[in-house]
Amino acid sequence: MEFELSVKKMTLREQISFLTGKDFWHTAALDRLGIPPLLLSDGPTGLRKMKGFGNITAICYPSAAAIASSWDKEGTKAFGEKLGDECRAERVSVLLGPGVNIKRSPLCGRNFEYYSEDPFLAGTLAANYINGVQSKGVGTSMKHFAANSTEDFRFKADSIVDERALREIYLRGFEIAVRHAQPWTIMMAYNKINGKYCTENSWLMTDVLRGEWGFQGLTVSDWTATADRVRGLKAGLDLEMPGAGYYTVQKVAKAYRAGEVSAEEIETGARRVLNLVDKAAEGHLSEAAPAWDKEADHAYAVELAKKCPVLLKNDNQLLPFSKDDKIAIIGARAKKPLIKGGGSSSVNAYKVDTPYNAFEFRGLDLSYADGYDLTMLDEVKPTLLEEAAEVAKAADKVLLFVSCSDMDVQEGFDHVNMDLPVAMNALVEKVADVNKNVAVILSTGSAVILPWADKVGAILQTYLLGEGFGAALPSLVLGEVSPSGKLAETYPKSMRDLACAKDLKVDNDLNLKYRESIFVGYRYFDTAEKEVAYPFGFGLSYSKFAYSDLKVVRTADEKVAVCFNITNAGDMKADEIAQVYVGAKFPSKVYRARKELKEFARVSLEPGETAKVELTLDKCAFEYFSVDLDKWVIEPGKYSIMVGASSRDIRLTEDIDISSADDLSKEADYADFAPHYFKANIAEVSDVEFCNVLGYDLDEYLPDRTDSRLTAEDAIADAVASKTGRKINGYIDMVNSIPGVPDAYKKLVTESVKTMPLNRMVQVSRGIFSDNMAAGLVTLLNDGSPMDMVKLFALGVPDTLKAVGMPALQKRAAKSTEKKNR
Ligand code: BGC
């Protein structure tokens, strides 16, 4: 409380200074009152704490897509605890994670950093992660709130999504985590939702997050996501990051003087930042930083990595391999594994054991071929293929390393399609032609298309397993540990099969239409009865499991207890992940998914052992969000409780009657105006039908195009219609020809510069590139006169000088006042 109380001792200007960061990674500080700055660092795969132009060495853990495949509640909490300890050692007060966004489409560039297509799984794991980190007195920043499903044009993309889909799918995971873990902070996403930037959305930040869910912490903008600091503050955005210093302070002060923002609004934001300082001070800053045993944490990363991989195929028990097999290791990824994604996840890994070395260390009979050139994955190199085929021919079994390209595990832009690089696909085909015992070790960040799946014997999807990948792999391949992960996302047979196939990318107005409403992932495939390559929740094991004795009973507190047994019927110790789905068995006035995940458990069993699994469903398990009644409601009737090994492998079912006190007589009859949704026939949903569900007319919503001139809210990429705009875009593209810099990084930089609205450039430069200069650039991009631009630039110079000089002057003034007061 100490720091929070000091808000009253601050001048209004000092309070305002706390509404923006001190710099790129710190919150504001105030020496006069002894308020320290807090360090915020990425997250979520490990610590990406910047040092100079690089990052400190830290443990690189499995990415969220891999962690989600473990379906391990306790394991995820323990992982959070480990990260919390590491943050303490590095004086990081807030870890920027976890990423809870729903995988709407496999093309989203950041899917590797997100958990699942299912909000219950995502929210439950996020809550455990957060509880783990925060149990160590360190905060988290659950991100990116909300409906942040695309990286293309991420600064301005507008998610056009109906409220039911928002509530049930895109907000639900965040809600679960807020209710069960109270993250210290929540990061507001770049995008808009139905026309409003998340950072300016009072419905989202204030009504729902605080009012309905009881969020107690601080809202922080994603880095450069504040379009307008004053509007943001009024809507409930507490902290702007990175800090814009004097630039923001004078903007908010001006708005205060104009009566646009109240002293109370300013104090509230500042108080929440100070409350965060209190938590950090009590949590860890008051103690000396503990030592960090990186060797021990690396060993932990290896163990964690063993829990995540998903065995997608294992014909004739090709895996595990025997130690006596003559094994060909093929694929350059065996020596240069893909263990992490870029952007916030680019942890500077402490120790990366390569799979090849790890197998060699086991003293096996190995041979090796590169198979492809990692620097030219778009090109098939016949000599490398031939060499690989020769090596494969001479071996008993082949371990073939296949991955997506670095470009497909990066923030800032989306994937073009779901395909693996051509060189990888060609290699699998070639090797599978000469050896029938091929086990593919797959490393991708999201669901992909595997055109050769029928031709190989086994496929182990490892996702991005972090630095423990290499060391963990031999245990799985040699059968010391059984793979036990299950998919947290559906693998479609083709991209055309996706519910969002028509709306994979933003349109010309940067709108991303969530036409499919609630039908995301298995909710769509199972309701539409569409074949898939690998269903949600699917994963094989070296053992096998029998499910029995399902009991579904209403408890005294109006919950539903679900009990069943799982027996390890194989001859090896292994873990099984059981899933509980709920589906309504009656015709409804609203469209519903055939089944929805409502609970799950991971159990570890010795051969022959039986575990009794006891899970509880609370009333949320039967609710849907009624837009017309503006609340969560339960329809009375018979519900199926389905216990499965995957969404398509239901082993036990029992029905239960659920009563309801909700008056549903005023619920709209969706069959009248949204008929195609009832069988999840999304391909037939017209714009009109979508608008019926959306509740507003998209035609009216489209921006007025009568004035096509750009403004400071536009970006350089928006200016391709102008001569100068094209030129500037061309200059930016020249970055791509710099040698020695990874392509994925170059693309992140060029896309960010091109698509960042000009007013955010002002913010990120702390006003040094001033508003007038941005206006000058806008003039140029509108093909205006260069003279006008020069004039505006000149007009901007005083602001630039102020932005540079004022903070130093203010610091000096504060120091001398302090001296005088002493
Ligand atoms: C990302 C966030 C990240 C932040 C700080 C943003 O570009 O979207 O996930 O935490 O940068 O690195």
Residue 742: pLDDT band (50, 70, 90) is confident
CB 755 within 8 A of CB 732: no
Q: How far apart are CA 385 and CA 368, in angstroms?
A: 12
How far is Cα 107 from Cα 150, in angstroms, rounded to an integer?
Answer: 8
- What pLDDT was estimated at residue 358? 97
Cβ contacts of 299 within 8 Å, gap of 6 or more:
none
DSSP 8-state secondary structure symbol assigned to residue 389: H
CB contact set of 739 (below 8 Å; sequence gap of 6+): none
55, 111, 344: residue to mutate for ligand 1 pocket, most atoms within 8 A of CB? 344
The pLDDT value given to residue 820: 66
Range 181-206 average pLDDT: 98
Mutate to test the pocket of ligand 1, among 25, 96, 110, 410 (most ligand atoms within 8 A of CB): 96
Å from CA of 223 to ligand 1 middle: 6
Rounded distance from Cα 477 to ligand 1 centre (Å)? 35
Q: Ligand 1: which of 198, 222, 749 to mutate, judged by most atoms within 8 Å of the beta carbon?
A: 222
Residue with CA nearest ligand 1 atom 5: 223
Mean pLDDT in the chain? 95
Q: Can you state the percent helix, strand and coil of the chain, rounding each to 5?
A: 40, 20, 40
Assign residue 466 a region: left if phi > 0, alpha if psi is -120 to 50, beta otherwise? left
Nearest CA to ligand 1 atom 12: 344
What is the residue with the minimal CA distance to atom 9 of ligand 1? Answer: 344
Whole-angstrom distance, CA of residue 772 vs CA of residue 792: 6
Is 143 a pocket residue for ligand 1 (Cβ < 6 Å)? yes
417-439 pLDDT, tens digit per residue, is 999 999 999 999 999 999 999 99
Nearest Cα to Cα of residue 333 among 254, 405, 403: 403
Number of CB atoms found within 10 A of residue 212's CB: 15
Q: Which ligand 1 atom is nearest residue 412's CA?
A: 7
800 Cα to the center of ligand 1, angstroms: 26
Token pair 């832009």 in the structure block, residue: 413
**Tens digits of per-residue pLDDT, 747-792?**
999 999 999 999 999 999 999 999 999 999 999 899 888 888 888 8
**Inter-residue contact 306 to 52 (CB < 8 Å):** no
pLDDT at 583: 98
Ligand 1 within 6 A of 96 CB?
yes
Instruction: Indicate if the pLDDT at residue 380 is higher than 80.
Output: yes
* H or E element in which residue 725 lies: helix 723-733
Q: Is the pLDDT of residue 36 over 90?
A: yes
Nearest CA to ligand 1 atom 7: 223
Share of the chain above pLDDT 70, in %: 98
The answer, yes or no, to whether residue 381 has pLDDT greater than 80, is yes
- Name the helix (H) or strand (E) containing 51: strand 50-51
488 and 71 Cβ atoms separated by less than 8 Å: yes
> Hey, is 471 helix, strand or coil?
helix
Of 352, 406, 466, whose CA–CA distance to 45 is shortest?
466
Rounded distance from Cα 232 to ligand 1 centre (Å): 18
Cα separation of 475 and 304, whole Å?
Answer: 12
Nearest-CA residue for atom 6 of ligand 1: 223
Q: Which residue has the tokens 């096509």?
A: 708
**Distance from the alpha carbon of residue 140 to the mean position of ligand 1, in angstroms:** 13
> Would the CB of 751 count as within 6 Å of ligand 1?
no
SS3 for 228-257 is CHHHHHHHCCCEECCCCCHHHHHHHHHHHH
Q: Three-state SS across 528-584?
A: CCCCEEECCCCCECCCCEEEEEEEEEECCCCCEEEEEEEEECCCCCEEEEEEEEEEE
For residue 818, the model assigns a pLDDT of 65
Rg (CA), the chain: 27
Least confident of 275-284, 387-396, 551-560, 627-636: 551-560
* Cβ atoms 254, 226 nearer than 8 A: no
**Given a cut of 80, is residue 565 above it in pLDDT?**
yes
Using DSSP bridges, classify how beta strands 631-634 and 623-626 pair: parallel, antiparallel or unpaired. antiparallel
- Environment class of 34 (CB within 10 Å of its CB; exposed 0-12, middle 13-18, buried 19+): exposed
Ligand 1 lined by 116 (C-beta under 6 Å): no
pLDDT-derived band of residue 793, with 50, 70 and 90 as boundaries? confident
* 3-state DSSP assignment of residue 711: coil
Q: Which residue in the list 222, 370, 526, 575 is annotated as catalytic?
A: 222
**How far is ligand 1, taken at its centre, from the CA of residue 20, in Å?**
16
Among 25, 42, 111, which residue has the most ligand 1 atoms within 8 Å of its CB, making it the best to mutate? Answer: 42
Q: 676 CA to middle of ligand 1, Å?
A: 38
Task: Please confirm, yes or no, whether 549 is among the known catalytic residues.
Answer: no
User: For a substitution probing ligand 1, which of 198, 411, 760 has the most ligand atoms within 8 Å of its CB?
Assistant: 411
CB of 70 within 8 A of CB of 307?
A: yes
Report the alpha-carbon distance of residue 102 to residue 116 in Å, rounded: 6
C-alpha 581 – ligand 1 centre gap (Å) = 34
Query: Are the CB atoms for 267 and 15 separated by under 8 Å?
Result: yes
Sign of the C-alpha dihedral, residues 437, 440, 441, 447?
Answer: negative
344 C-beta closer than 6 A to ligand 1 = yes
Expressed in angstroms and rounded, the spacing between residue 181 Cα and the centre of ligand 1 is: 22
Residue 59 in this model has a pLDDT that exceeds 90: yes
Query: Ligand 1: distance of its center to the CA of 141 in Å?
Result: 11
Token digits of residue 807? 């903070």
| CB of 120 shorter than 6 A to ligand 1 | no
| The ligand 1 atom nearest the CA atom of 154 | 8
CB 149 within 8 A of CB 106: no
- What are the start-end ranges of the H helices in 105-259? 119-134, 163-165, 172-181, 202, 229-235, 246-257
- Cα–Cα–Cα angle for 65, 92, 145, rounded to 5 degrees: 45
Cβ–Cβ under 8 Å, residues 124 and 70: no
pLDDT for position 53:
86
pTM equals 0.97
Q: What is the 3-state secondary structure (H, E, C) of 264-326?
A: HHHHHHHHHHHHHHHHHHHHHHCCCCCCCCHHHHHHHHHHHHHCCCEEEEEHHHCCCCCCCCE
CA dist 146 → 152, 199, 725, 760 (Å): 16, 10, 31, 20
Using one digit for the tens of pLDDT, what is the confidence trace for 468-505? 999 999 999 999 999 999 999 999 999 999 999 999 99
Residues 319 and 542: their CA atoms lie apart, in Å, by: 8
Residue-level pLDDT at 217: 98
User: 25 in ligand 1 pocket by Cβ < 6 Å?
Assistant: no
pLDDT at 816 over 80: no
Residue nearest to atom 8 of ligand 1 (CA): 222
**355, 337 Cβ separation under 8 angstroms:** yes
Residue 56 contacts by C-beta under 8 Å, 6 or more apart in sequence? 47, 49, 50, 90, 348
What's residue 822's pLDDT?
Answer: 62
**588-621: pLDDT as tens digits:** 999 999 999 999 999 999 999 999 999 999 999 9
3-state SS, residue 226: coil
Residue 431 has what pLDDT? 98
- C-beta 599 within 6 A of ligand 1: no
Picking from 485, 422, 480, 498, the residue whose alpha carbon sits closest to that of residue 459 is 485
